[in-house]
Amino acid sequence: MTASARDFGIVCGTMPTGTHNAITDVPGVKVGHITIREGNINTGVTAILPHDGNMFRQKVLAASESINGFGKSAGLVQVNELGSLETPILLTNTLSVGTCVNALIKRAVAANSDIGRTTSTVNAVVGECNDGPLNDIQAMAVTEDHAYAALDAATTGVVAQGNVGAGTGMTCFGFKGGIGTSSRRIKLDGKDYHLGTLVLSNFGRKGDLTLPDGRHPTPDFPDQPEKGSIMMIMATDIPLEHRQLQRVIRRCGAGIARLGAFWGHGSGDIVIGFTTGNTIDHDQKSDLVTMQALNEDKIDQLFRAATESTQEAILNSMCAAESFNGRDGNSRKSLADWLKLNS
């Protein structure tokens, strides 16, 4: 089993985690990966499914936040305008966004023959990071079949982290980055709810990483400007309205900042968040609908959960990632190896 930050005694914050310490602790949420490693090709696709049903017909309430907008994600304008998510979320490399959009559209049309004919078109949502240093990104190796494979591989429970799926060729603070996840458990009105974050970490300048205990791990790696990207996917089963969700996902940025990043000019730092606690029926007949919302006096718990789970998810992505040799001999060391030598 790959390592996590907690395996090295690194704990982010004080809130309890869910059973798996993963975004899949939110009931119904699934994650799947397809990893592509063939010579100079080191990339993949990661899929996040909010529920098992037809997402076009039963949308989840959603929002997005651009902390620094140097990115090429798809579908976020409509997510913020309508406050809903109507496809799974796919993560991949920068030049494969279009391929993944096509795959999501084709899947949605196959399940909903009225799309674009007697009802609206579908808003496919895809996030990306640039894995060019370790992957021959110009080869555009990701195919629609890879996207379908990631969707079909999605499961609940334990989430594979590190050098998997979209995280295969990513770099973080000069170390090997990738996929990471973490969750927090929150009690409201006597019931347990969960908030979980999954990250695709590919950001941060060498030497800026700050661990919760104050250490500054620094790899043997050339100095470079702050650049790269991070995609953060935050999920919860707490019923929120769109404005509340937007406020919560904004706090994922605090999780990045706790680790020493300052959201540089060349970094695309994007959050997509959704709640399964409020769904939107595409075929709703009623003129008025009822939705639950959080008592805003309780929202600080969610702010803290978003911050802590993002910080820990990033560290998990780096601890789970093994040292890696990629395109044209470019290599990245694992944070786990640094921690073993400096414990």
Catalytic one of 96, 229, 317, 334: 229
Q: Does residue 269 carry a catalytic annotation?
A: yes
Closest by CA to 143, choosing from 90, 73, 88, is: 90
Which residue type is seen at 111?
Answer: A
**Helix/strand/coil (H/E/C) assignment for every residue in 247-272:** HHHHCHHHHHHHCCCCCCCEEEEEEE
**Beta-carbon count within 10 A of 190 CB:** 5
> Encoding tokens for residue 221?
């790696």
Which of 113, 50, 17 lies closest to 308, judged by CA? 17
Of the candidates 269, 309, 317, 334, the residue annotated as catalytic is: 269
**Strand order across the 227-236 sheet:** 84-85, 58-69, 266-281, 227-236, 191-202, 178-188
Closest CA to 159 of 275, 60, 254, 26: 26
What distance separates the 2 farthest-apart alpha carbons in the chain? 63
Question: What does each C-alpha distance from 205 to 171, 174, 189 come to in angstroms?
Answer: 10, 6, 42
Q: Are 200 and 167 in contact (CB under 8 A)?
A: yes
267 is an active site residue: yes
DSSP 219: -
CA atoms within 13 A on the CB side of 95: 11
Q: Which residue in 201, 267, 309, 334 is the catalytic one?
A: 267
Residues marked active site are found at 229, 267, 269
